[in-house]
Structure 1
Amino acid sequence: MENNDYSHLKEEIISNKRIFDGHVIKVDHSRVKLPDGQTADREIVYHKGAVSLIAVHDGEMYFVRQYRVAPDDFLLEIPAGKIEVGEAPHETAVKELREEIGGIAGTLEEIQEFYVSPGFSNEYVYLYEAKDMTMETQALDDDEFLDIVKVRLEDLKKLLQEGAFRDSKTLIAVQHVIASYNL
Structure 2
Amino acid sequence: MSFTRADVEIISREDGFRGFYRLDVLQLRHRLFDGGWGPVLRRELFVRHDAVCVLPYDPWLDQLVLIEQVRVGALEKSDSPWMLELVAGLIDTDEAPEQVAHREAQEEAGLTLLSLHPITRYFPSPGGSDERVYLYCALVDSRGAGGIHGLAEEGEDIRVSLWPRAEAITAVEDGRIDNAASIIALQWLQLHAERLRAEAGPQP
What TM bracket, shorter-length normalisation? Answer: 0.7 to 0.9
Aligned mate of 2:176, from 155, 160, 164? 164
Structure 2 match to 1:144:
156
What amino acid sits opposite 1:122 in the alignment? D
Structure 2 match to 1:11:
8
Structure 2 match to 1:62:
65
What amino acid sits opposite 1:17 in the alignment? E
Instruction: Give 1:132 deviation, angstroms.
Output: 4.5
Aligned mate of 2:22, from 26, 29, 34? 26
Larger % of helix: which?
Answer: 2
Instruction: Give 1:91 deviation, angstroms.
Output: 0.9
What amino acid sits opposite 1:26 in the alignment? R
Instruction: Give 1:146 deviation, angstroms.
Output: 1.5
Q: 8 Å contact 1:46–1:123 — kept in the other structure? A: yes
Gaps of 5+ in 1: none
Q: How many residues align?
A: 178
Q: 8 Å contact 1:49–1:123 — kept in the other structure? A: yes
Instruction: Give 1:10 deviation, angstroms.
Output: 3.6
Query: TM-score, normalized by length of structure 2?
Result: 0.79
RMSD value over aligned CA atoms? 2.1
Task: Give the direction of change, closer, same or farther, for the CA distance of 1:83–1:156 in structure 2 (3 Å limit).
Answer: same
Instruction: Give 1:157 deviation, angstroms.
Output: 2.6
Question: Within 5 A, what are the aligned runs for 1:1-183?
Answer: 3=1, 5-7=2-4, 10-23=7-20, 25-35=21-31, 36-57=37-58, 58-72=61-75, 73-133=81-141, 139-142=149-152, 143-181=155-193
Structure 1 match to 2:201:
none
Task: Give the direction of change, closer, same or farther, for the CA distance of 1:8–1:153 in structure 2 (3 Å limit).
Answer: closer
Larger % of strand: which?
Answer: 1
Instruction: Give 1:174 deviation, angstroms.
Output: 1.0
Instruction: Give 1:141 deviation, angstroms.
Output: 1.0
Q: 8 Å contact 1:52–1:80 — kept in the other structure? A: yes
Gaps of 5+ in 2: 32-36, 76-80, 195-204
Sequence identity percentage: 25
What amino acid sits opposite 2:123 in the alignment? Y
Judge which range, 129-138 or 42-51, deviates more: 129-138
Instruction: Give 1:168 deviation, angstroms.
Output: 0.9
